[in-house]
A and B are shown apart, each in its own frame.
Chain A
Amino acid sequence: MGSVRTGDRLPPLEIEITRTLIVAGAIASRDYQDVHHDAELARRNGSPDIFMNILTTNGLVGRYITDHFGPTAVLRKVAIRLGTPNYPGDTMVLTGTVEEFDGDTATVRVVGDNGIGRHVTGTVTVTVPMQGAR
């Protein structure tokens, strides 16, 4: 990891929102709400299709941060708010900006936009050890 500075922008991460990702993420997080795997019931509930559950979004935000800062980075806090849903066939693009860096802990503002709007906004606090050690 190079040095981290306030204002740094993380490279964007594009995630294809496949039906498989939505269902696999829901089941991996043990969330069996029908709106995350059963399109028929999702429609009956007024949704056009199944949509990603919040825990999968949360996990993807965490992954985005550790992908960037590397395996020694330690997540301290992940706080997200959802907006427009992630439906199958869409693409979500995660972007991030370092809002604060105090020596070993970064606060990163993360935004995920999909084809219909802003899916997620969040703030991640991550400790990045060995800063400047190489």
Chain B
Amino acid sequence: MSEVHDELWMSLKAYEGRATAVGRAGKDPVNEPMIRHWCEALGDTNPAYSGADAIAPPTMLQAWTMGGLSGHTGRSQAYDDLLTRLDEAGCTSVVATDCEQEYLRPLRPGDEITFDAVIESVSDRKTTKLGTGYFVTTRMDVRVGPDLVGTHRFRILKYAPLRKTPTAPTAPKAPRPRPVINRDNAGFWEGVDRHRLLIQRCTGCSTLRFPWLPGCNACGGLDWDTAEASGEGTVYSYVVVHHPPFPAFAESAHAADVAGPYAVGLIELAEGVRMISNVVGVPYDKVRIGLPVRLEFRRHEDPGGSFVLPVFRVHGGEV
């Protein structure tokens, strides 16, 4: 990291050591319902957290200090001011990176906590995978009466998110690659254009085949006709492509600005052959083997002329 400190950093550095909370009271006493909700959410069945002599899960420490939706009244300005300065400098995004908690004694239902918090440090400007920004570390001391019961050190990165060049909100939807049509598969794509999914059938041995090929894999016969698929099928297998991002394939209402992951399905048609296609109507992470799907045709507009692609929609939409 360079030794050159920008002017912003100098002003941020001035916040080090400033209190962000002094003797502030928790909104609720430590209580059984909040403990139970926490344990339910996290699947924590530790018997120490219920019953007559219950303690609160120690990792709930910060939860007792949170302002929630209504926030804290009489909030100290220092932290807000610091965050506002960073916002103004373009560091509008925030992510928590570190949490270090020390527990001096367990909290029990009925304990009423108070806490003090201080801005411990502001880092140099750092460039991370998320963007460029500053790490801000705060330390909180939690007390019951005069007794220190725990400390909580918390680090956030306040950063300017990287601009994703191909996915600016105004960018047009990335064009879908056109199918490659040749003499062997031309009949298939002519069918798709007319919203018919045609499977090749060997006239010698009646074996169905897909994708389209010059000859029969079963008997070697070169003559064929076609059978139209009913359009019913199931997901035989699938993969989810996370990287590299490919906006043209993203199956999302925001496909223009989200080059997120997408699912590639291997669909087994009711007729028995399998084909690779998109599974639509569910998020990529809800695609599962065995999902029933139904054929649908989508027209894609393209500078080179529109074209149609077959896709498969999950029955009933949401799963």
Contacts and interface: CB of A to CB of B under 8 A. Distances in A.
Nearest to A75: B58
Interface string A47-61: 011000111101111
Contacts of B242: 115-116
Interface string B27-59: 000000010011011111011100000000111
Contacts of A72: 48
B161 interface: yes
B8 interface: no
A59 B103 contact: no
B59 A58 contact: yes
Interface residues of A, number: 44
Nearest to A53: B96
A131 interface: no
Contacts, number: 120
Interface in B97-129: 97-103, 106
Given A45-B161, A56-B41, A62 B58 contact: yes
Q: Label chain A's interface by main secondary structure.
A: mixed
B260 A45 contact: no
B59 A59 contact: yes
A76 B42 contact: no
Interface in B236-264: 242, 254, 257-258, 260-261
A2 interface: no
B5 interface: no
Interface stretch (B60-68, B176-184, B203-211, B292-300): B60-68
Contact of A63 (B44, B96, B254): B44
Nearest to A24: B41
Contacts of B95: 82
Contacts of A10: none
A79 interface: yes
B7 interface: no
Interface string A13-35: 00100000100110111111000
Interface of B: 34, 37-38, 40-44, 46-48, 57-60, 62-63, 66-69, 93, 95-103, 106, 161-162, 164, 242, 254, 257-258, 260-261, 283-286
Interface of A: 15, 21, 24-25, 27-32, 43, 45-46, 48-49, 53-56, 58-63, 66-67, 71-72, 74-82, 87-90, 115-116
Per CB-CB distance, the 6 closest pairs between chain A and chain B, nearest first, are: A89-B285, A30-B66, A24-B41, A62-B59, A79-B100, A54-B96
